[in-house]
């Protein structure tokens, strides 16, 4: 049985390795299966949510509201610049997953 699995080729990315298995009649590697079942839906959600958040941050928020909120007793261990960069990183990474597919297909 192990020999057969090594001969299987992922129909999505073309890789031939021991992680390739049949899922719903399609041979796919674990990276593509994980992307299709878990990462793509998450990426679509986080790209939407991060974009909505960033599109609602205006100059007043940056200059007044966010600094005041972060200086309150309800502190978190991040400043608003880090927070915005983190949200932007999630949005950019999510968009790349949506556009380019699983990370194992990305060129370094």
What is the percent of the chain with per-residue pLDDT over 70, rounded to a whole number?
A: 91
Hey, which bits of the chain come out as E strands? 21-23, 26-28
How far apart, in whole angstroms, are the C-alpha atoms of residue 29 and residue 34?
9
Q: Which residues contact 4 (CB under 8 A, 6 or more apart)?
A: none
Residue 70 confidence (pLDDT) above 60: yes
pLDDT digits (tens, 9 = 90+) for 4-47: 555 789 999 999 999 999 998 999 999 999 999 999 999 999 99
Residues 6 or more apart whose CB falls under 8 angstroms from that of 97 comprise 35, 39, 40, 43, 103
Asked if pLDDT for residue 1 goes beyond 50, the answer is no
What residue spans define the domains of the chain? 2-105
Q: Please name which of 32, 36, 29, 24 lies closest in space to residue 5, comparing C-alpha atoms.
A: 29
Q: Which of 104, 78, 93, 86 is nearest to 44 (CA)?
A: 93
What pLDDT is attached to residue 26?
Answer: 92
- Which residues touch 27 (CB under 8 Å, ≥6 apart)? 8, 9, 10, 11, 20, 21
């Amino acid at each position: 049985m192990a020999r057969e699995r090594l001969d299987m080729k992922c129909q999505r990315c073309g890789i031939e390795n021991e992680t390739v298995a049949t899922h719903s009649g399609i041979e796919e590697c674990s990276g593509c299966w994980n992307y299709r079942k878990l990462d793509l839906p998450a990426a679509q959600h986080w790209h939407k949510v991060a974009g909505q958040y960033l599109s609602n941050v205006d100059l007043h928020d940056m200059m007044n509201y966010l600094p005041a909120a972060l200086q309150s007793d309800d502190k978190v261990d991040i400043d608003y610049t880090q927070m915005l960069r983190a949200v932007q990183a999630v949005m950019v990474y999510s968009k790349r997953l949506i556009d380019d597919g699983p990370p194992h297909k990305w060129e370094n």
